[in-house]
Structure 1
Amino acid sequence: MHTKSFSDGTVLMPWNPGPNDQRPGPVFVSVTDFLAGSEAEARDIYTAGLELGRTWPVMQGAVGLWLWGRPAEFRGGSISVWESERDMRRFVRWPVHTEIMRAWRGRVGIGLDSWRAEHFDAHDILTRAGDTIDRPHRHAA
């Protein structure tokens, strides 16, 4: 389902469907971008992302997810698609996710983008997400 050519050096993992993979109608998209300070931190972040990705098939409100990385830049993150913003926020408040974010707070730069789409279109979502990922990363304040 990869239809967007990201810049060289970007690795896009295969689509990881959620329980609402075939959902018609509007969706909410969230792009996260983590900037680690070292190769070791980047590996730890990728590992945490992969572990969270294993829960995806049962995540309430999840349409699906792509994980992405730019190993040479110590960057990576996710492109997640939800039924609604409320579903995404429920995931953000999930204790497992909260614990991971608390552990990394202040240690990594975080970039975010999100939007509502009238329907799921992988090409459109990956194009906009790619534009977000291709922008120079700025450390979170």
Structure 2
Amino acid sequence: MPHVLWSTQWRPGAAAGAVGPGSEVLVGVTEFVTHRSWSTFSVGAEGIRLRRTWPRTPGAVGMWLWADLSPRMNRSGSITVWTAHEHLLGFVARPDHRRIVRAHRDRGTLRSATWTAPFTSRSAVYDSAWRLVSGAAPWPVAAP
């Protein structure tokens, strides 16, 4: 079976209209690698459910969900764009998000990266984040 990277279309958030070219945004990329391939479906389904309410989150500019369904590794995650770090933290603290993290924390390994960037276009943000997801760029090493 060939290696397949899949991504959803852009889903605008509550602040999508407030961000213009050159605005500073926070880009966040998450990756969850499941220990067992059969856990991948439930993790993905939870992500899709969360994506339905995500656009109402304050400071949310846009998001993509992604999945890597290769025979050796099953991983999925998101690429999110925010107006400020506080808004990302507000999303992470939401009860529905915390419930999902708690339910799946023993089923795999989570890593994430965030950085600020000028918002020149959705495709420019996506391309920079996709470099991490696809393996074209290394994930940042966490500080000790």
TM-score, normalised via structure 1 length: 0.84
Between the two proteins, the alignment pairs up a number of residues equal to: 131
CA separation of 1:117/1:20 partners in 2, compared to 1, >3 Å: closer, same or farther? Answer: same
CA separation of 1:20/1:71 partners in 2, compared to 1, >3 Å: closer, same or farther? Answer: same
Q: What fraction of aligned residue pairs are identical, expressed as a percent?
A: 31
Who is 1:40 aligned against? Answer: 38
1:17 and 2:16 aligned: no
Who is 2:110 aligned against? Answer: 110
Deviation at 1:110, TM superposition (A): 1.1
d(CA) in 1 for partners of 2:105 and 2:55? 27
Who is 1:131 aligned against? Answer: 131
1:66 and 2:64 aligned: yes
Deviation at 1:114, TM superposition (A): 0.8
Q: Give the number of the structure whose alpha-carbon radius of gyration is greater.
A: 2
Deviation at 1:118, TM superposition (A): 2.1
Larger mean Cα displacement after TM superposition, 17-26 or 43-52: 17-26
Who is 2:101 aligned against? Answer: 101
Who is 1:5 aligned against? Answer: none
Note the aligned Cα RMSD (angstroms): 1.9
1:30 to 28, 31, 35: 28
Structure 2 residue runs of 5 or longer lacking an equivalent are: 140-144
Larger mean Cα displacement after TM superposition, 114-123 or 89-98: 114-123
TM-score, normalised via structure 2 length: 0.83
Given that 2:10 and 2:64 are in contact with CA atoms closer than 8 Å, whether structure 1 keeps it comes out as: yes
